[in-house]
Amino acid sequence: MDSNRQNLINKIKYRAQYRGTKEMDLFVFKFVNEIVENLNLEELEDLNKLINLGDEELIKISESKDNQNLSKVIIKLREFKEKY
């Protein structure tokens, strides 16, 4: 189980660095590095889905004011965006 978790973390970190635009690469990579080690497997899977979204959709989610049925990962993304 730990190797599956670590493999997913490695996959997420790699994807976060190479999204397409340099600005989003930096933003997403910093966000991922801040939270990735403290997430359980389900939350890591949510994070993996989130970072595989397109830039525009990711920005839209991070700026949305809709607070219903949010995953822990999206809440952390919004908190992170507020700091930067």
Tell me the per-residue pLDDT of 7-54, one tens digit each, with 9 for 90 and over.
999 999 999 999 888 999 999 999 999 999 999 999 999 999 999 999
pTM for the predicted model, two decimal places: 0.90
Own/partner long-range contacts of 8-11 (Cβ < 8 Å, ≥24 apart): 8/41, 8/44, 8/45, 8/48, 9/36, 9/37, 9/44, 11/48
Indicate if the pLDDT at residue 1 is higher than 60.
no
CATH of 2-83, one of 2.30.29, 2.60.120, 1.10.150, 1.10.30: 1.10.150
pLDDT at 51: 95
Report the half-sphere exposure of 30 (CA within 13 A, side-chain side).
10
What phi-psi label fits residue 29: left (phi over 0), alpha (psi between -120 and 50 degrees) or beta? alpha
pLDDT at 38: 95
**Mean pLDDT within 41-69:** 92
